[in-house]
């Protein structure tokens, strides 16, 4: 097994997540797509931690940090989403245009 297949998988997963984040209209689906992009980054980190010139566990530690930060991000994002839904009775990105110029 080599390094490149894992990096290619990370790139494809990142691209799928980017497509969802840019085109979906449901705010929750946008959040889900962001999580997929974070996961793609994690695949790269762990792959380099395993296949790097000097294999080191630091990549796994960084992946753990990203997992924890992703959990915090989801908590805050869903809190904002629920407040927004209570205010506008909608979870559509089109309705979240109050701060658009």
Check residue 25 for interaction with another protein (CB under 8 A). Answer: yes
Q: Which of 30, 34, 35, 101 is close enough to bind another protein by CB under 8 A?
A: 35
Q: Examine residue 76 and tell whether it contacts another protein (CB under 8 A).
A: yes
d(CA 77, CA 88): 16
Which residues, at least 6 apart from 39, have a Cβ–Cβ distance to it below 8 Å?
A: 13, 17
Separation CA 81–CA 91 (nearest Å): 7
Residue 96 sits in the site that holds another protein (CB under 8 A): no
Is the CB of 22 or the CB of 98 nearer to another protein? 22
Nearest to 46 by CA among 101, 9, 71, 97: 9
Among 30, 34, 55, 98, indicate the residue that binds another protein (CB under 8 A).
Answer: 55
Closest by alpha carbon to 1, among 57, 50, 55?
Answer: 50
If one asks whether residue 49 binds another protein (CB under 8 A), the answer comes out as yes
In whole angstroms, give the CA distance from residue 41 to residue 101. Answer: 32
* Residue numbers at the binding site for another protein (CB under 8 A): 1-9, 11-13, 15-20, 22-26, 28-29, 31-33, 35-36, 39, 42-43, 46-47, 49-53, 55, 57-58, 60-61, 63-65, 67-76, 78-83, 85-86, 89, 91-92
């Amino acid at each position: 097994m080599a390094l490149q297949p894992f990096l290619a998988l990370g790139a494809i997963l990142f691209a799928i997540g980017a497509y969802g984040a840019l085109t979906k209209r449901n705010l929750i689906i946008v959040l889900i797509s962001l999580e997929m992009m974070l996961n793609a980054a994690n695949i790269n980190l762990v792959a380099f931690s395993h296949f790097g010139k000097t294999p080191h566990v630091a990549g796994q530690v960084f992946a753990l940090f990203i997992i924890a930060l992703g959990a915090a991000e989801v908590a805050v994002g869903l809190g904002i989403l629920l407040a927004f839904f209570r205010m506008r009775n909608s979870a559509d990105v089109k309705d979240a245009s109050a701060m658009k110029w």
